[in-house]
Amino acid sequence: MFPAVLTTVLFSCSVLFASRSSRLVGPMQANVTRLVLAMVLLGIWAHGWGGGLHGAGLPWFFLSGVIGFGLGDVALFGALPRIGPRLAILLTQCLGAPIAGLGEYLLMGTLPQPVEIAFAVVILCGVALALAPDKQWEGDAKAFKVGVLCGIGSACGQAFGAVFSRRGNAAALLDGTVVDGATAAYQRIIAGVLTTLVFWAVLRVLGKSSETRHPVTVWKQATPFIVGNALSGPTLGVACFQWALLIAPSANVLPVVATSPLVTMMLAWFLDGTRPTRKALFGGMLAVGGAAGLAWAKASGRS
């Protein structure tokens, strides 16, 4: 499970970079910029040493990218300025595990066992406890609710994106090929970039986009965070994530990656001085504990 652990660390760093860059240049501009940069980096690998845009799993990876990179990441960047990186990643990663289990049941016929359902309930209780507003959250109730809905949307994108990636890997194996993590990430991110650009264009046409142009000085401030986000998230992070999904079911991988909220809490405390309240920390630990229990049940064959 080394690739899943490595994914956890990279995703924890990525959400902090994303939070800082979105505060500087806006969620959509920060998201599009880091996706395009990551697409270029992954494309160099995929066309130079990987499988490029070939393979039986391409349609599934493309669909995974629409849901995960596209809709899921748009939702994540919508959650970050409203509920902060701690709660945003908690919703995305912890809720992603039970939603992925449900998705695999609906799409692949993998029936959740009673022990899995029990741990899913523990995850939901922990998330609910951590979501209760505390003194470190600032903003109105409406913004908080919208942020929570965006976080849930991000979790759905993470979960169903992982399930469709599994289908892509299965299709490739049936065709007698193996898709490396970076190539799978590249095939997914192309769809993600296109989806994000279409979504942004629709917002602008409808007059719902609040993005504005920023001077060069602001972009210079944001560039290190955008580059860090592109590397730790959609490039190295997703490549490791695809690597993990290649060798293990998503119901095993996602619970391990779900520990990233605790890592994010500690990093945010160390870097930004945002100390989590006891309630938020306990709720996060409960949710992560449920996710870890779910992984243990799957790995030990008790489910």
Tokens 């959400």 — which residue? 15
SS3 110: coil
At 47 the pLDDT is: 93
What are the pLDDT digits (tens) for 91-132? 887 787 778 777 777 776 667 778 877 888 888 888 877 776
Q: 302 falls in which pLDDT band (50, 70, 90)?
A: low
Range list of H helices, 175-299: 181-205, 216-230, 236-247, 250-257, 260-272, 278-299
Q: 236 falls in which pLDDT band (50, 70, 90)?
A: confident
Structure tokens at 271: 């870097």
Please tell me whether the overall predicted TM-score, pTM, comes out greater than 0.75 for this model.
yes
Tokens 């240049």 — which residue? 25
What are the pLDDT digits (tens) for 136-188? 555 577 888 898 999 999 999 988 888 888 889 889 888 888 888 788 889 99
At 291 the pLDDT is: 74
Kindly give, in sequence order, each residue whose CB lies less than 8 Å from that of residue 224, ignoring residues fewer than 6 positions away.
none
Q: Is the pLDDT of residue 133 over 70?
A: no
Query: CB count, 10 Å around CB of 24?
Result: 17
* CB 185 within 8 Å of CB 231: no
Mean pLDDT of the chain: 83
SS3 158: helix
194 phi and psi, to 5 degrees?
-60, -45
Percent of the chain whose predicted confidence (pLDDT) is above 90: 23
